[in-house]
Amino acid sequence: MHQRTIAREVIVEGIGLHTGRPARLTLRPAPAGSGIVFRRVDLAGSPPVRASLVSVGGTERGVILRSSVPVATVEHLLSAAYGLGIENLVVDVEGEELPAGDGSALAYVGALRRAGTLELDAPRLRIVLEEAVWARDETGCIVALPFPGLKVRYVVTLPELGAQMATFDAGSDRFEEAIAPARTWGFVEEAEELRRRGLALGASEENVLVLSQKGYVGAPRFPDEPARHKILDLLGALALLGGEVAGEFVAIGGGHALHISLVRRIAERGRRSPAPLPGEGDQTGG
């Protein structure tokens, strides 16, 4: 239950999903309590931006953090860090958008594993729900319920494929096997319109699970891969709280904006406290 960072620096390179431009990240160790901090080292003098709710500057087709300059599509890195229990990092970014990798969180999980983890002399922050919290918009709805661990059920309805539900229980499922490989997905019928709007300029079958109104175009890694990727994105949003979240989440539809809306409500209503370190709180009176 200690806070963690990485043991050594590691580099991730690739192209941005939406910009199509090269990007390079250097992930560095960070001290306890610092959180995940992005630095645009390609723009001299730009202030760092912390991965927190106050820094969210956009949610269209990804989460954008912003100080005076943007850092775009951060959710897959944040999800990987959250899934591996790493809450303190310095991320030096060369480029406006983080690398897409293969469209999943595997590139970031691999990088964090190569870097190794270092336990820090400070307890993790734990955010506990004491009442139901929910959010809804035109894309769907999510409810978060009190629960001692972390459990997510996500329902997605797709043309021809119908409704699919993916589940993740942090107490029994391994993030890097059950969730991290799930890729971002999109419909081939939307591609031209997205590119007209300056989005998906780096998207291809190499980094997107492509669907059509008739079903899968590319082969999915899981029968419910789109729903699993929604869980991946939701975990990335939870990382913005800066600690371990306890709750049971049930989502029907939804996207980045709805995830952020729910996390804001959790920040307002959840109880935040340091998690007990091993050996603390287990003494019995005599």
**Structural domains of the chain ordered from first start:** 2-123 (3.30.230.20), 126-274 (3.30.1700.10)
Cα–Cα separations (whole angstroms), residue 156 to 114, 179, 190: 33, 15, 18
Look at residue 68 in the predicted model and tell me its pLDDT.
86
Which DSSP category does 277 fall into? P
Asked if residue 4 has pLDDT above 80, the reply is yes
pLDDT confidence of residue 119: 97
Regarding beta strands 125-128 and 56-58, do their DSSP bridges make them parallel or antiparallel, or are they unpaired?
Answer: unpaired
Predicted pLDDT of residue 277: 52
> Which backbone phi and psi does 92 adopt, to 5 degrees?
-85, 120
Structure tokens at 30: 């960070």
Q: d(Cα 127, Cα 150) in Å, to the nearest integer?
A: 11
* Residue indicated by tokens 């589940």: 167
53-112 pLDDT, tens digit each: 999 999 998 999 998 899 999 999 999 999 999 999 999 999 999 999 999 999 999 999
Residues assigned a catalytic role: 256
pLDDT band at 276 (very low <50, low <70, confident <90, very high): low
Predicted confidence band of residue 285 (pLDDT cuts 50, 70, 90) = very low
pLDDT at 160 exceeding the cut of 90: no
Mean pLDDT of 270-281: 68
State the angle between helix axes of 256-269 and 225-238 in degrees (0 to 180), rounded to the nearest 10: 40
- Strand duo 10-15 + 2-6: pairing: unpaired
Task: Give me the sign of the Cα torsion angle 17, 18, 22, 26.
Answer: negative
**What is the arithmetic mean of pLDDT over 166-177?**
97
pLDDT digits 0-9 by tens, 5-30: 999 999 999 999 999 999 999 999 99
Give the confidence band of 159 by pLDDT, cuts at 50, 70, 90: confident
**Contacts of residue 62, Cβ cutoff 8 Å, sequence gap at least 6:** 17, 18, 72, 73, 74, 75, 256
The answer to whether residue 175 scores a pLDDT higher than 80 is: yes
- What would the pLDDT profile of 104-134 be if each residue is shown by its tens digit? 999 999 999 999 999 999 999 999 999 999 9
Distance (Å) of CA 103 to CA 61, 75, 108, 133, 269: 13, 11, 11, 30, 33
More confident site: 160 or 229: 229
The residues facing 136 across adjacent strands are 141
User: CA-CA distance, 77 to 224, in Å (whole number)?
Assistant: 21
Assigned token pair, 269:
């209503």
Residue 282: per-residue pLDDT: 39
Q: Are strands 22-28 and 10-15 parallel, antiparallel or unpaired?
A: antiparallel
Q: Do 29 and 85 touch, CB atoms closer than 8 A?
A: no
Is pLDDT at 174 greater than 60 in this prediction? yes
Task: Quick: pLDDT tens for 212-254.
Answer: 988 999 899 999 999 999 999 999 999 999 999 999 999 999 9
Residue 187 pLDDT = 92
Structure tokens at 284: 């019995």
